[in-house]
Structure 1
Amino acid sequence: MNMLSRLLVVACLALPFTACKKEEAPKTEAVAAVPLPTSGEQKDWVPYLQYKLIPHMGGITNSPFVYFLPKNDTEDFGGKYERQLEKLETDLGRGITEGNMLVFASPVPEKEVEMIETAFKQVAPGTMNGVKVVFIGTPILGERVKAAVEPAGVNYIFEEAK
């Protein structure tokens, strides 16, 4: 019992010193660039999307809504496009609230932009304040997306696909 008492006294004396340790600055690791995938498979795009999205996750409270279209030579591309458009229209119709992020990426960004322009026509102006919309594509297409989504009041973020 005497030994246990001594250990408790030592622990009590050491505790203030360990608790007063200065806070260290958070360590930031350099993230290696992830190249743009050449595949049309969504699984091949996951590391690239993570690389592109991590810098924009501040203030996001939920998992991002990711809308991805495969290459247009994929079997049943037309059906996949229609289902993706329907999902986007349904999500927008229910309402996307502050703290959420919508992400658009595709090996066929022109078709993705067409989908965005179609779906965002139904969104009332100013109803998506505090929502981030990230488009990964070319600067010219990025301007089209910006024109389509900004009236909704979103925080639009363009990431060049490279």
Structure 2
Amino acid sequence: MKMSIRMLLAAALTLPMLAACQKDEQAEVVEAPPVAKPAGSDENAWAEYLTDVVKRNVGTATSVYLYTLPSPDSADYEGEYERQLEKAQTDVMRGGVEGTLLAYGSPDSSKSADLAVEAFEVAQEGSMKGVRVLFIGDNADFARVKTTVEPSGATFQFVEAK
């Protein structure tokens, strides 16, 4: 995934939190309809979809990390997977900070699940208390991600990609 898309994702996740701090409590909130799951592998469409899902599930998180993968048919897919895995494992090895949300999603649910599972295989038991892990994917991948995340002490949340 291109660096500019990552920057857009980070900005899209951060700006609503900042804006929420400045909103008048009595202002009427009009919620936009959810972004539909993209049918194809367009990276921009997937970035928009995943950002929308994360924003709708951010809750009280103060830090958000989104680990995404491009479409499996994209150039340098394996290289991108390895870079994301290295980052995710490093973040998990450091242990969790309360209020952190780690979100995983991509056009290929199975590979996104692989990323989450491999990242949490390095977690120390109980080291992620106060952290929430959001997996956006298919029901078929739900159990194996949950089983790997739970020993870390993180709270697991699943959103079916649809």
Q: Could you state the TM-score of these two structures normalised by the residue count of structure 1?
A: 0.77
**Equivalent residue pairs, number:** 139
Cα offset, 1:25, TM superposition: 5.0
Aligned to 1:16: none
**Alignment pair present for 1:161 and 2:161:** yes
Q: Distance in 2 between the 1:91 and 1:24 partners?
A: 35
Shift of 1:30: 3.3
Indicate the residue corresponding to 2:70 in structure 1: 70
Distance change >3 Å, CA 99–CA 121, structure 1 → 2: same
Choose 35-44 or 79-88, whichever is displaced more.
35-44
2:60 maps to amino acid: G
Tell me the CA shift for residue 154 of structure 1: 0.9
- Match of residue 101 from structure 1: 101
Distance 1:146 1:108, change over 3 A: same
Which structure has the larger Rg?
1
Deviation at 1:141, TM superposition (A): 0.5
Across the aligned residues of Structure 1 and Structure 2, the Cα RMSD in angstroms comes to: 1.9
Query: What's the CA shift string for 1:7-40, capped at 9, x where partnerless?
Result: xxxxxxxxxxxxxxxx975523232121112343
CA distance in 2, matches of 1:42, 1:146: 26
For residues 43 and 54 of structure 2, what CA distance do their matches in structure 1 show? 15
Secondary structure (helix, strand or coil) at the match of 1:70 reads coil
Unaligned runs of 5+ in 1: 1-22
Taking only the aligned residue pairs, the percentage that are identical comes to 37
Q: Which residue of 2 aligns with 1:18?
A: none
Unpaired runs of 5+ residues, structure 2, are: 1-23
Counterpart of 1:143 in structure 2: which amino acid?
Answer: A
- In structure 2, the partner of 1:146 is 146
TM-score by length of 2: 0.77
